[in-house]
Amino acid sequence: MPDTVFRRISPRFQRILRTVPVLTGSLALLLCGSLLAAEDAAKAAQKPPAESDYYPIVSLPVPEGVVLESGALELLADGRLAVSTRRGEIWLVDQPLAEDASTATMKRFAHGLHEVLGLESRDGWLYATQRGELSRLKDTSGDGRADVFETVNAGWGITGDYHEYAFGSKADAEGNLWVTLCLTGSFSSQAPYRGWCVRITPEGKLIPTCSGLRSPGGVGANAAGDMFYTDNQGPWNGTCSLKWLRKGSFQGHPGGNRWYDLPAVTEAMGAAPVEPESGSRIMVEAKKIPEYEPPAILFPYKKMGQSASGIVCDTTEGKFGPFAGQMFVGDQTYSTIMRCSLEKVRGHYQGACYPFRSGFGSGVLALELSPEGTLFAGGTNRGWGSRGTKPFSLERMQWSGKVPFEILEMRARPDGFELEFTRPVDPETAARPESWQLGTYTYIYQSSYGSPEVDHTQPVIRQAQVAADGKTVTLTVEGLQEGHVHELHATGVRSAEGQPLLHTEAYYNLNYIPAAEQAAAE
């Protein structure tokens, strides 16, 4: 038997072979081949789970010469996918859901627009949120190209500053489109409503809705129809976040407060809020400023990403996997999609974020989820770069049908947290307090750029109690910190089948500790 073949076999099988009488060369090789195949099968069975096992990514073809830096996505009633670009074009993808993605084709619907970062189709029109206005487009000739362009509303300002992005939502229950407007630069507002969220009614009227925005990266509704946006690290934002656009609220950055003097703002929202104190903490200021709506979820910087972007909610009722009702948020720099679960505590949203899917071809910016459970992701690396190495990408992802072993949801309790899992846990490992690690920190709420993690604490997990069905674990914690991110690692927990978690981390933003009576009511 050749030494090179013999050395590939594990020591256990080498010892067995040495006890066998001398074999002929061909028989020895045959036996070695069988042993190696058995070992390879055993190794494959023990292979740790991977994200691609549950949500494989497929690329859609982009015609040669087309620079498709996707800014927004919209599935049309006829099954085509509209893709807008940062370069002011809109393309229509035919058969985007075809089993063979390579059969999808693209045709340009419109061009000459200004950085379209929002798309919504309605009544035969395609609504496009441009940097300086909300427009609507229509193809009346049937040749697949827009030939009617109308301005719906152009009530916000623009100076030409690179930072003045405008992200548009899908229609809310009343038919309004929500537009989130970046500041001029990172610190101030040099044009009306920069640093604001406005609503545009079906009739085209602009309604000032929220102040205090800095640098939105996406806007979208949760399952209840409440609107959220992502904001990015910078002045008055220690890290990236998911924020609830509560009507009339102040979102934390005072750079655009000068526009409270506009008559439309006075009518819709009243007087300006008190200015926050730089160097303070988010929840300290939230208790002083009634209009201030603290971030629902903080995305720990360089742990979950660096540039939070597009938002979708899973309303497919299980067609996209076990995460029905949860929200998914892109990250442009890390080329990832994160998962978020929310709950309301004392009238405010808060919750946890979890890693979900990495490995996209470019920086994830736009997201769209079909009713059948296909998630489309459009990407670009222009401006900030990305882990994804391509300059742009258009990809889709479907659930494979396999249920990953994941923390489904992390919920706050008066004395700890309740963890729900997608599959039953091993009760022995999950009940050990040492299987879990928990730390807390927060960020400085300040006018300068970003913040490090500060005010670290180390709570103690006193008990881990596993429910009878094996899918819920209640952690009794000593040392909860209101206003802190609670970073949980479940590295020692195994499934009932002995598998590790696909992702062991969860980050809960504990703005408010629930009262005992609220927990009992739930």
pLDDT > 70: percent of the chain: 90
Nearest CA among 159, 158, 151, 78 for reference residue 121 = 78
As a whole number of angstroms, the distance between CA 166 and CA 117 comes to 6
What pLDDT shows up at residue 23?
Answer: 44
Q: Could you tell me the pTM of the whole model?
A: 0.91
What pLDDT shows up at residue 41?
Answer: 46
Q: With contact defined as beta carbons under 8 Å apart, do 357 and 343 qualify? A: no
Average pLDDT estimate for 46-63? 93
pLDDT in tens, 202-261: 999 999 999 999 999 999 999 999 999 999 999 999 999 999 999 999 999 999 999 999
What pLDDT shows up at residue 383?
Answer: 80
Mean pLDDT of the chain: 93
Q: Lowest-confidence range among 12-16, 100-104, 138-142?
A: 12-16
Q: With contact defined as beta carbons under 8 Å apart, do 442 and 281 qualify? A: yes
Provide Rg for the chain, Cα atoms.
26
Q: DSSP character for 131? A: S
Q: How many residues does the chain have?
A: 522
Average pLDDT estimate for 107-122? 98
* Model confidence at 29: pLDDT above 70: no
User: Is 297 in a helix, a strand, or coil?
Assistant: strand
* Model confidence at 381: pLDDT above 90: yes
pLDDT in tens, 188-197: 999 999 999 9
Neighbouring-strand partners of residue 137: 126, 149
- pLDDT bin (cut points 50, 70, 90) of residue 48 is confident
- pLDDT bin (cut points 50, 70, 90) of residue 516 is confident
pLDDT > 90: percent of the chain: 88
pLDDT in tens, 461-500: 999 999 999 999 999 999 999 999 999 999 999 999 999 9
As a whole number of angstroms, the distance between CA 246 and CA 227 comes to 8
What pLDDT shows up at residue 517?
Answer: 58
**What are the CA-CA distances from residue 330 to residues 226, 302, 371 (Å)?**
19, 14, 19
Pairing relationship of beta strands 472-478 and 119-122 according to DSSP bridges? unpaired
Nearest CA among 318, 463, 482 for reference residue 401 = 318
- pLDDT bin (cut points 50, 70, 90) of residue 382 is confident
User: DSSP per residue over 467-483, as a string?
Assistant: -TTSSEEEEEEE---TT
As a whole number of angstroms, the distance between CA 338 and CA 327 comes to 8
Q: For the chain, which residues make up each domain, given as ranges?
A: 3-47, 52-398, 407-521
pLDDT in tens, 212-224: 999 999 999 999 9
As a whole number of angstroms, the distance between CA 275 and CA 261 comes to 15
* Model confidence at 15: pLDDT above 90: no
What pLDDT shows up at residue 4?
Answer: 47
Q: Element (H or E) spanning 155, and its range?
A: none
- pLDDT bin (cut points 50, 70, 90) of residue 420 is very high
List phi, psi (to 5°) of 447.
Answer: -75, -20
Q: Element (H or E) spanning 8, and its range?
A: helix 3-8
Average pLDDT estimate for 295-303? 98
Residue with tokens 């307090």: 433
What pLDDT shows up at residue 22?
Answer: 47
Q: With contact defined as beta carbons under 8 Å apart, do 214 and 183 qualify? A: yes
Structure tokens at 83: 């893709």
Q: In angstroms, how far is CA 434 from the centroid of its own chain?
A: 30
Average pLDDT estimate for 407-412? 98
User: Is 223 in a helix, a strand, or coil?
Assistant: coil
Question: According to DSSP H, which parts of 228-311 are helical?
Answer: 263-269, 282-288
Nearest CA among 468, 467, 473 for reference residue 488 = 473
CATH 3.40.50.300 is right for the domain spanning 407-521: no
What pLDDT shows up at residue 386?
Answer: 96
pLDDT in tens, 429-465: 999 999 999 999 999 999 999 999 999 999 999 999 9
What pLDDT shows up at residue 1?
Answer: 47
Report how many helices (DSSP H) and strands (DSSP E) the chain contains, helices first: 7, 33
Neighbouring-strand partners of residue 335: none
* Model confidence at 297: pLDDT above 90: yes
User: Is 263 in a helix, a strand, or coil?
Assistant: helix
Q: With contact defined as beta carbons under 8 Å apart, do 214 and 232 qualify? A: yes
Neighbouring-strand partners of residue 83: 73, 91
pLDDT in tens, 323-341: 999 999 999 999 999 999 9
Residue with tokens 């309740």: 418
Q: Angle CA(285)–CA(286)–CA(288) in degrees, nearest 5?
A: 65
The CATH number that domain 52-398 falls under is 2.120.10.30
What pLDDT shows up at residue 47?
Answer: 79
As a whole number of angstroms, the distance between CA 498 and CA 502 comes to 12
pLDDT in tens, 143-178: 999 999 999 999 999 999 999 999 999 999 999 999
Average pLDDT estimate for 399-417? 98
Average pLDDT estimate for 75-104? 97
Q: Lowest-confidence range among 20-34, 359-373, 503-517?
A: 20-34
Nearest CA among 290, 270, 292, 268 for reference residue 282 = 292
As a whole number of angstroms, the distance between CA 69 and CA 83 comes to 9
